[in-house]
Amino acid sequence: MTISLPMCAIDFTKDDMGPEEKAIADRITELKKELGDDLLILGHHYQRDQIVMHADLLGDSFLLSELAAKSDAKNIIFCGVHFMAESADILTSDAQRVILPNMRAGCSMADMAALPDVEVAWKEILEESGLKDPATAKEGDSCLIPVTYMNSAAELKDFCGRHGGIVCTSSNATGILDWAFERAGPKGAVLFFPDQHLGRNTGLSMGIPLEKMSVWTPGEENTIPEDVKIVLWHGFCSVHKRFTVAQIDEFRKNNPDGLVVVHPECPMEVVQAADANGSTEYIRKFVAKQKPGTKIAIGTEINMVARLDSQHEDLEIQCLEPTVCPCSTMYMIHPAYLMDVLERLVDGEIPNQVIVEESVQTGAKIALERMLSIKK
């Protein structure tokens, strides 16, 4: 079957499929039946509807990895991006295989923090600040605790695990930073990467002033304030940085009683101007509890916004940005690629398997399990 892959012609109000799309969808359904209980398809909230319709489980990146680890399925298809599949491989058993439909589906934010740059920054911050590495610190020392966002490569999670650090998500960042500061000591600090906006917004929500945060830009001359509490890596989400205060002002002008909810990966000014902010799960719950007729502008990826709009016909939901664009790497998971890996599984192949090296898994699993032990 010859498949053409559309790139930017996206109509988020159109639910029906063309003949070619329907043929692919029907074939995926047949292949799922053939593979039976040995197959588990995971779909991230940011995936297009033509992928979500085939997902056995839908959620954010870490929830899906957790659910994969609890599954007995031998073949786990992760319809997301590469760092998500890596986390699933770390948390699942050796008998399970994690497969990414398109190996080019990466994450620009995750790519902004490379291990060599982080190692250089780590050494320089320790030297300049006088803080200690938790891995070698003595009792009573003030330490620098590395915290990496879930949206990062496995080798950075491994770095955190080896240096007394931890992983966080957008839903538990406050609890994770509480944990990190407790272990850092009263004069200690946190190195937060790769998303500066999540780190800054979380720090502000905890009462940490901007003067006690600094941004570390790799390859440039950086200065660390004497009483710094959070060193923020100069990274960001290419989707969430598109949202602006001007967009919020325009929405409020046209909808004085409307509500604005955004993801904490958005810039600080946007988060502060919104009515609420939180993870993808938080946004879903925020929308679900609103009264019929409420007008809501959402600052996050358009596939999720469009899906919420279709699920809540009694609400008026729109994307905060008028010229919407999907996450380009999430959009690389086309139904044709999903169909292809299923066909190859039926034929006895193991296509596009994501394998994290054992040497990297060790520290990464420690950092992930530390996160799992924190209940908030």
Residue 161 has pLDDT above 90, yes or no: yes
DSSP 88-100: HHHHS-TT-EEE-
Mean per-residue pLDDT for 91-111?
90
Same fold, 19-106+329-357 and 110-237: yes
Which of these CATH numbers, 1.20.1640.10, 3.40.50.10800, 3.40.50.720, 3.40.50.150, describes 19-106+329-357? 3.40.50.10800
pLDDT per residue as tens digits for the range 102-140: 988 888 888 899 999 999 999 999 999 999 999 999 999
Out of 17-21, 27-31, 70-74, 157-161, least confident range: 17-21
The pLDDT assigned to 15 comes to 53
Query: Percent of the chain scored above 90 by pLDDT?
Result: 77
- CATH architecture entry for 110-237: 3-Layer(aba) Sandwich (3.40)
Q: Calculate Rg over the CA atoms of the chain.
A: 21
When the pLDDT of each residue in the chain is averaged and rounded to a whole number, the result is 91
pLDDT score of 38: 95
pLDDT > 70 in the chain, percent: 95
pLDDT over threshold 60, residue 148: yes
Cα 288 to Cα 62, 175, 249, 313, 317: the distances in Å are 22, 25, 24, 11, 11
Q: Which class would CATH give 240-319?
A: alpha beta
Distance CA 212, CA 220 (A): 20
Domain boundaries, the chain: 19-106+329-357, 110-237, 240-319
pLDDT band of 375, cuts 50, 70, 90 = low
**3-class state of residue 58 by DSSP:** strand
Q: Cβ distance 240 to 300 under 8 Å?
A: yes
Backbone angles phi, psi at 145, to 5 degrees: -105, 120
Give the model's confidence band at 376: pLDDT under 50 very low, under 70 low, under 90 confident, else very high.
low
